[in-house]
């Protein structure tokens, strides 16, 4: 009797529409490139038109740029309502203002929680509403952090925002499961990007980070491309409401 061999689910995304926020640099560009290279038609979104247009041109394939301020909630709602539904969202726009908790101002709080939590929430909501209205199944991917699983010095606002994102993600997954929409986070360790590069110029800070990353190196945007592709594709079709931690062993201790 012939043995039936299981077939690996496809990592290809041909025919899928994807959107990446904060796509002008760093992790956002890498996520957009990963999706485009797997066959998806990718829309790169950010406030800075020149940056995302250059990134989309460099990616080529099916990448296009669209200027959008994700903290303008009326604009976000209109943006998604007037477009065909996306199958994949990478909710990546974010910021950080590292300082001791006693130095945090209300303006700092509003900036970090406003972008990392509130904007992420309403981008996901607008995307999901259009998916639900058109019976479009798909995957929401939220860029979290290892700091959504542990604490860190001078990271009270960032930790607050990323822990909030993890809780939101779990509830999104429960609300959206019956609509065939999955929701997961990716939780990276420190990744060397234009936003973080100045921090690593401090040798003491760099050494402290490397002492916690058990694999012995700071992450690169390329380290997250496989995770993005996995969560976007049918390869992760039974995963929802969880976090893919890409931290070099930081949170294992």
**What is this structure's pTM?**
0.96
137 lies in some domain: yes
The list of the chain residues with pLDDT below 70 reads none
4 lies in some domain: no
Confidence (pLDDT) at 1? 78
Quick one: which of 10, 146, 36 has its CA closest to 88?
Answer: 36
5 lies in some domain: no
CATH number at residue 178: 3.40.50.720
**Would you call 196 exposed, middle or buried from its count of C-beta atoms within 10 A (0-12, 13-18, 19+)?**
middle
Question: Considering its fold, how many domains does the chain have in total?
Answer: 1
Confidence (pLDDT) at 61? 84
Confidence (pLDDT) at 196? 82
Q: What is the largest CA-CA distance in the chain?
A: 71
Confidence (pLDDT) at 111? 98
11 lies in some domain: no
Among residues 158, 190, 230, 250, which one is catalytic?
Answer: 158
Tell me the percentage of the chain whose pLDDT exceeds 70. 100
7 lies in some domain: no
> What range defines the domain where residue 205 resides?
17-248
Residue 71 DSSP label: T
Phi first, then psi: give them for residue 181, nearest 5 degrees.
-115, 125
109 annotated active-site: no
6 lies in some domain: no
């Amino acid at each position: 009797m012939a043995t039936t061999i299981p077939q690996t689910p496809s990592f290809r995304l041909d025919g899928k529409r994807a959107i990446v926020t904060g796509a002008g640099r760093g992790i956002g560009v890498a996520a957009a490139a990963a999706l485009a290279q797997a066959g998806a038609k990718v829309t790169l979104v950010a406030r800075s038109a020149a940056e995302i247009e250059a990134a989309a041109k460099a990616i080529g394939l099916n990448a296009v740029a669209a200027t959008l301020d994700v903290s303008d909630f009326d604009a976000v709602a209109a943006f998604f309502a007037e477009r065909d539904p996306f199958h994949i969202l990478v909710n990546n726009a974010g910021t950080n203002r590292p300082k001791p908790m006693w130095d945090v101002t209300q303006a700092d709080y509003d900036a970090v929680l406003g972008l990392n939590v509130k904007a992420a929430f309403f981008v996901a909501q607008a995307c999901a509403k259009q998916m639900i209205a058109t019976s479009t199944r798909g995957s929401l991917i939220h860029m979290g952090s290892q700091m959504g699983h542990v604490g860190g010095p001078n990271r009270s606002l960032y930790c607050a925002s990323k822990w909030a994102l993890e809780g939101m993600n779990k509830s999104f997954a429960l609300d959206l499961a019956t609509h065939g929409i999955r929701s997961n986070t990716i939780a990276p360790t420190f990744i060397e990007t234009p936003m973080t590069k100045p921090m690593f110029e401090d040798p003491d800070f760099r050494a402290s980070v490397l002492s916690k990353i058990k694999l012995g190196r700071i992450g690169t945007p390329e380290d997250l491309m496989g995770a993005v592709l996995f969560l976007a594709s049918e390869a992760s079709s039974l995963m929802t409401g969880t976090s893919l931690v890409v931290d070099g062993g930081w949170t294992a201790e």
